[in-house]
Structure 1
Amino acid sequence: MEHDEMAKFDEFSTAEDVLNAVNLAGKRVLVTGVSAGLGVETARVLASRGAHVIGTARNLDKAEKAIAPVLPDARDGGKIELIELDLASLTSVRACADALILDGRKFDVLINNVFGRTADGFETQFGTNHLGHFVLTNRIAPWISPGGRLVIVASAAHRFSDIDLDDLNYDHTPYDPFVSYGRSKTACILFGIEFDRRHRERGVRATSVHPGVIRTELSRHIDQSGIDKMLEDLNVERAATGKSPFRYKTIPEGAATSVWAGFVAEASKVGGRYCENCHVGDIIEGPRDAADEGLHVYAVDPERAKLLWKISEELVKERF
């Protein structure tokens, strides 16, 4: 699985660039959220290198229409199959996991790609981004082959907020969509740290990645006018410090770090780490604007990662 991890990729690299010389024939990969955007591009480029992709989607009709144009790109036995999964419903998550387990075939890599309240009463972004993947991933963890990897699509938006372990559902504090999104992505990073600790002895490593800011992905969760105002203020700050204006990533660029962390980078270098722009991110201690690189220190606290795991088990009423 490991290739030349010293190859130089950057924020402008695409998933095609990253996998240019990589043959994935015989690899089996689970990718969540393949009905649009990053999920479709990730599935496409993996299948084009020979991988057998199992893609999940809440709406199978929508997903079938989304992947139909990319199916001809599959090569060397690569293919994309779909399975129903609504990450906002733990009943659906468990049914999906049971079906994958019953199938009995191992996975080489899992890419948790998906970005009110869920059917189970959890705040939507925390329930979907973290708890849904928490249950799905842990249920099928024994079916990740030794040497395999878990790639969790997190976000630089973790800088919006640390998680509040005492009020995960906003029962006692005012709701803010930016804070909620940030908390859910911090939870994703902490989940990767603890999953990696629990599974690395058997050769399975976990990493979280920031794909870059993709217009279609962020606006799915946060009102576009709020995003525009945030970026306007950000560009004023960047201009004052001589930085270039903020730039959205394209979908092919956004898929690059996920496939780099899953198939190209050295496992020991990315295991338990946070990656962005096709490299391991640095830990930062103080405030940093959302367009700069780096991982806030609160998102790498192993004790908070363990505590989040324990609370998550209590919330979903399942032990792993």
Structure 2
Amino acid sequence: EPAGYRTTAEEVLSRDDIDVQGKTFLITGGTSGLGEESVRVLAKHGAKIIFSARDLAAAEKVVANIKAETPTAEIIYYKLDLSSLASVKTFVDEVKTTGVPLNGLILNAGIMAPPFGNTADGFETQFGTNHVAHYLLTRLLIDNLVANAPARVVVVSSSGHRLDGVDFSDPNFTTRPYDKWKAYGQSKTANILFAYELNKRYASKGIEAFSIHPGGIRTPLMRHMAIEELIHFGLADAEGNYGPQLKTVPQGTATQVWALLAPELKGKGGEYLEDVSVSCPKTEQARDPNAAERLWSVSEEYVKKYL
């Protein structure tokens, strides 16, 4: 196992050279898995947190649990449905009314391998949710980040980017047959390319962006996976028991909080990280600056009426 494989988010935040007191971070998808753990540990160590949730009752429960552990936790949440760009705009407007200066974003929310569907704006569900909505969210909040620079944007990708690249001719599977894993791979490749291009455009203004692979983790993200698929991907044995190689949620959350905060990453924006260290995307397209620039342009076109 690589050195940082078993490091937890808590361990990262306990470092002497990392201090989140008085900083404010926004995290998408704060009600389960890696997002919930990110909210918990950052709030526990004194950061102010804004998180998004599809389900406000679930969000309320998360806050209650965290406050039971950390009564001083400062956490607010707003509703966000990433399958709707109008919802992204409404969410950002609510965040802006707080007047809170943002020191970083963790674009953590995502879906994996659902049946075919389209978002409210006509994008294939995974591409629209995992990439396009987060692109718009970031564009709408970037001025806030620049005003509070240095700031970081962490985009949660996955080693699943190997499953496919971005098909610029048909990203929404309008003519090609839908394959849920190709669609997942496309959205995760888009996450890497987006972080790279965001960094390229904004590093000079004090914004650094990173994409990360959290590791194989047992989280609710796997809800669309049949047991045969878990076995096929080596995530479970023949009896359907999850393998010991899967990380715990606290271990899986380490890389994204490290990306958000580690001083040793200063000047390394644009990189792809895993196991609490700098890594490298596994496909040619995910390393291609031209693809990154092209994705930015088409994404801008997709969301222009909200910019």
Same fold? TM cut 0.5: yes
Deviations 1:186-217 (A, max 9, x none): 00110001110111011110001111112224
TM-score by length of 1: 0.85
User: Could you tell me the percent identity over the aligned residues?
Assistant: 41
TM-score by length of 2: 0.89
SS of the equivalent of 1:311 reads: helix
| Residue equivalent to 2:14 | 20
Counterpart residue type for residue 136 of structure 2: V
Matched, 1:120 2:107: no
Partner of residue 281 from structure 1, selected from 279, 282, 298: 279
Q: Distance in 1 between matches of 2:186 and 2:133?
A: 15
Residues 1-320 of structure 1 aligned to structure 2 (within 5 Å): 10-21=4-15, 22-74=18-70, 78-115=73-110, 116-144=117-145, 145-231=148-234, 247-283=245-281, 295-318=282-305
Q: Distance in 2 between matches of 1:108 and 1:74?
A: 21
- Contact conserved, 1:177 with 1:222, CA < 8 A, in 2? no
Counterpart residue type for residue 317 of structure 1: K
Q: Distance in 2 between matches of 1:53 and 1:33?
A: 12
Instruction: Compute the displacement of 1:74 (Å).
Output: 3.0
Q: Distance in 1 between matches of 2:67 and 2:4?
A: 28
SS of the equivalent of 1:219 reads: helix
**Aligned-residue CA RMSD in angstroms?**
2.1
- Contact conserved, 1:44 with 1:73, CA < 8 A, in 2? no
Counterpart residue type for residue 117 of structure 1: N
Q: Distance in 2 between matches of 1:140 and 1:173?
A: 34
Q: Distance in 1 between matches of 2:120 and 2:165?
A: 25
The answer for unaligned runs of 5 or more in structure 1 is 1-7, 237-244, 284-294
Counterpart residue type for residue 134 of structure 1: Y
Q: Distance in 1 between matches of 2:66 and 2:3?
A: 24
Instruction: Compute the displacement of 1:68 (Å).
Output: 1.8
- Contact conserved, 1:261 with 1:270, CA < 8 A, in 2? no
Count of residues in correspondence between the two structures = 292
- Contact conserved, 1:40 with 1:67, CA < 8 A, in 2? no
Instruction: Compute the displacement of 1:89 (Å).
Output: 0.8
Q: Distance in 2 between matches of 1:215 and 1:129?
A: 19
Q: Distance in 2 between matches of 1:70 and 1:191?
A: 32
Q: Distance in 1 between matches of 2:225 and 2:295?
A: 24
Instruction: Compute the displacement of 1:152 (Å).
Output: 0.5
Q: Distance in 2 between matches of 1:256 and 1:46?
A: 11
Segment of structure 1 superposing worse, 43-52 or 295-304: 295-304
The answer for unaligned runs of 5 or more in structure 2 is 111-116
Deviations 1:225-281 (A, max 9, x none): 32322327x989xxxxxxxx7711110011100000111243435300100000010
